[in-house]
Chain A
Amino acid sequence: MAPTERTDGSEDLGATGRDPVAPTVVSGLGFQRTKNVQERIIGGVLFSCAAISTLVTVGVVVVLLRESLIFFSNVPVWEFLTGTRWQPAFTPQRFGVLPLLAGSVMVAVGSAIIALPLGLMTAIFLSEYAGQRLRGILKPVLEILAGIPTVVYGYFALTFITPLLRQFVPETDVFNAAAASIVVGIMIIPTVSSLSEDALRAVPRALREGAYGLGATKLEVSTKVVVPAALSGVFASFILAVSRAIGETMAVTIAAGNLPNLTLNPLESIQTMTAYIVSVSLGDTPQGTVAYQTLFAVGMTLFIITLGMNILSQWVLSRFREEYQ
């Protein structure tokens, strides 16, 4: 049975492959050549598109590197990385990036505390509990969250969340890290939920059935089989979301303030790396000065952090890719 079926199949394929429309249409050599030229032009156009985006990336990195090298020829790397005061605009100038780094990390950690559990639970709900119709409504609504301009989030924090916080803790600063963390957390929930949901739904049905067959409840199937099996994808979504939180600019600039302040108190005003870059770009710092070049040093730091996070998420994905068969 099987061998005859196979020959039948290959003969069919051979037949359709041997008499396609091509020979009847391509009547002369000239036609063939025009086609080749067309192909080459299209190939060239597509290649230049790919090349432009790659070159732009390379260019950005080169500019960042060159300008930060100039900066580091004036300020020792060690001082930059370990200094606890950041005041490039006043004398004496101090170039310790730690207050900015701490600000970024505080917002990232705070938003992760909000977004990771909420996003994962949303993903579990969408993938395991919600019916088809409910998911059809909820998913687009969630994705709207990702489409709201970040400046709107910033004012939402400033005009709604901060007043709310002040009702509980009156001494909260007008600009504070907590409000920024909360809105950034809300902002990155769709990243976590949508990527995690993809990972959860990719877990084979057979694994769920195996667990149901042993008398597992839906909760047990979700938390003890599906989530562990999808862990690499879930983890990658976490890393991506956190790197988005670190890179987030507008909302934190508006909500968290512009005070480089090395603190662990989320109710105080702080400044993140991104917010600093905004303030210098918009300010009147003269070009060519060391104070101006801090832009590139801070930008470089930010770039290395997010690049590292992306590499980490790629590694996590490939390392655990074959978790299930």
Chain B
Amino acid sequence: MSTTYGITIGSDGPALEVRDVNVHYGSKQAIDGVSLTVPKKKVVALIGPSGCGKSTLLRCFNRMNDLVPSARVDGLIEFRGHDLYAPDVDPVEVRRRIGMVFQKPNPFPKSIYENVAFGPKINGFRGDLDELVETSLRQAALWDEVSDRLGDSAYALSGGQQQRLCIARTLAVKPELVLMDEPASALDPIATQKIEELIYELKEQYTIVIVTHNMQQAARISDYTAFLYMGKLIEYGPTDTIFTNPREERTEAYVTGRFG
């Protein structure tokens, strides 16, 4: 498609292949014919004004929209070559392999340890749970702050720490792709910076798709940026091109702050 350019896919194929996806909520169309490719071990940012469908699109990738009775998804979404919406695919398994971090930190009302151990436990993890909890907390850059109080309630943590705990919780089930829905929008600048640094490090091992309304954030942390407007993909390309030399007029107007 002409709106997509400059996406480099490694020899082992893309992480996610999205073709002509439409999403309806009842009779309202939220996503209109979106196609895009997510390369492995890269950060892809979805940007666009409120209500443009970026969260809706993200929630298609781990079948979270299945939980909304009125939602209907059609088109093709392939994860490592497997159609995520094929009739024999179990959405529970999809969500285990494609993790999600939400807009507001949503730790469970349990201890810090139990929050991280929750995913492995329900997925029948057999092995050293303590070690897995520690590794996950280290990956989420939270270990040093909580190592001496793993038994405390997760609510004793600050908002930024809670969000890193939620990231640790997601990483503990060893997902292959991590979806982040405005993970820093409820946090202060310092906590936001920590999350951004963390995303930068996670890129080594994980493919990340992040929704953000903060354009500076998209520019700082992502390799590729997709601009959505009113449910349509307007432009998708390397982040520096999207921000400095976009091909579409609407993209330029949005990234320079003229609307949205």
Q: A residues within 8 Å of B by Cβ?
A: 131-132, 204, 206-217, 220, 224-225, 228-229, 322-325
Cβ contact within 8 Å between B155 and A214 = no
- With both chains docked as a complex, state the minimum distance between the C-beta of A16 and any C-beta of chain B, in angstroms: 27
Cβ contact within 8 Å between B67 and A216 = no
Interface membership of B118, Cβ < 8 A: yes
Interface membership of B48, Cβ < 8 A: no
Cβ contact within 8 Å between B64 and A209 = yes
Interface membership of B169, Cβ < 8 A: yes
- 16 other A-B residue contacts (CB within 8 Å) besides A212-B95, A323-B109: A206-B106, A207-B106, A207-B108, A207-B109, A208-B67, A209-B100, A210-B102, A213-B95, A213-B100, A213-B170, A214-B99, A214-B122, A215-B92, A215-B93, A215-B97, A215-B123
In the complex, the chain A residue whose C-beta lies closest to that of B107 is A210
Q: B residues within 8 Å of A by Cβ?
A: 62, 64, 67, 69, 92-93, 95-97, 99-100, 102, 104, 106-110, 118-119, 122-123, 155, 166, 169-170, 173
What 8 pairs across the A-B complex have the smallest Cβ distances? Answer: A215-B96, A214-B119, A213-B100, A206-B106, A210-B106, A324-B109, A323-B109, A215-B95
Q: How far is the CA of A206 from the CA of B110 in the complex (A)?
A: 15
Cβ contact within 8 Å between A210 and B108 = yes
For B173, the chain A residues whose CB sits under 8 A away are 214-215
- Given known A-B contacts A209-B67, A210-B108, A220 and B102 have beta carbons under 8 A apart: no
Q: How far is the CA of A11 from the CA of B109 in the complex (A)?
A: 41
- With both chains docked as a complex, state the minimum distance between the C-beta of B100 and any C-beta of chain A, in angstroms: 4
For B106, the chain A residues whose CB sits under 8 A away are 204, 206-207, 209-210
Cβ contact within 8 Å between B92 and A216 = yes
Cβ contact within 8 Å between B109 and A213 = no
Cβ contact within 8 Å between A212 and B64 = yes
- With both chains docked as a complex, state the minimum distance between the C-beta of B259 and any C-beta of chain A, in angstroms: 13
Cβ contact within 8 Å between B122 and A209 = no
- Given known A-B contacts A131-B69, A215-B123, A325-B155, A228 and B95 have beta carbons under 8 A apart: no
Task: Select B122's contact among A132, A216, A323, beta carbons within 8 Å.
Answer: A216
Q: How far is the CA of A208 from the CA of B170 in the complex (A)?
A: 14
Q: How far is the CA of A212 from the CA of B67 in the complex (A)?
A: 9
Cβ contact within 8 Å between A225 and B67 = no
For B62, the chain A residues whose CB sits under 8 A away are 213
Q: How far is the CA of A209 from the CA of B100 in the complex (A)?
A: 9
For A214, the chain B residues whose CB sits under 8 A away are 95-96, 99, 118-119, 122-123, 169-170, 173
Q: How far is the CA of A324 from the CA of B110 in the complex (A)?
A: 9
For B93, the chain A residues whose CB sits under 8 A away are 215
Cβ contact within 8 Å between A206 and B104 = yes
For A324, the chain B residues whose CB sits under 8 A away are 109, 155
Q: How far is the CA of A301 from the CA of B169 in the complex (A)?
A: 51
For A131, the chain B residues whose CB sits under 8 A away are 69
- Given known A-B contacts A209-B64, A212-B64, A215-B95, A220 and B104 have beta carbons under 8 A apart: no
For A208, the chain B residues whose CB sits under 8 A away are 67
23 of the cross-chain contacts (CB-CB < 8 Å) are A204-B106, A206-B102, A207-B108, A208-B67, A209-B64, A209-B67, A209-B100, A209-B106, A210-B169, A211-B108, A213-B62, A213-B100, A213-B170, A214-B119, A214-B122, A215-B93, A215-B97, A215-B122, A215-B123, A216-B119, A217-B92, A224-B118, A324-B155
For B100, the chain A residues whose CB sits under 8 A away are 209, 213
In the complex, the chain B residue whose C-beta lies closest to that of A231 is B109
For A225, the chain B residues whose CB sits under 8 A away are 108
For B95, the chain A residues whose CB sits under 8 A away are 212-216
For A204, the chain B residues whose CB sits under 8 A away are 106
Cβ contact within 8 Å between B69 and A215 = no
For B170, the chain A residues whose CB sits under 8 A away are 213-214
Q: Which of B92, B122, B166 has the most CB of A within 10 A?
A: B122
In the complex, the chain A residue whose C-beta lies closest to that of B154 is A325
Task: Select B109's contact among A132, A212, A229, beta carbons within 8 Å.
Answer: A229
Q: How far is the CA of A210 from the CA of B69 in the complex (A)?
A: 18
Q: How far is the CA of A197 from the CA of B148 in the complex (A)?
A: 37
For A207, the chain B residues whose CB sits under 8 A away are 106, 108-109
- With both chains docked as a complex, state the minimum distance between the C-beta of B183 and any C-beta of chain A, in angstroms: 12
- With both chains docked as a complex, state the minimum distance between the C-beta of B154 and any C-beta of chain A, in angstroms: 9
Q: How far is the CA of A229 from the CA of B114 in the complex (A)?
A: 13
For B92, the chain A residues whose CB sits under 8 A away are 215-217
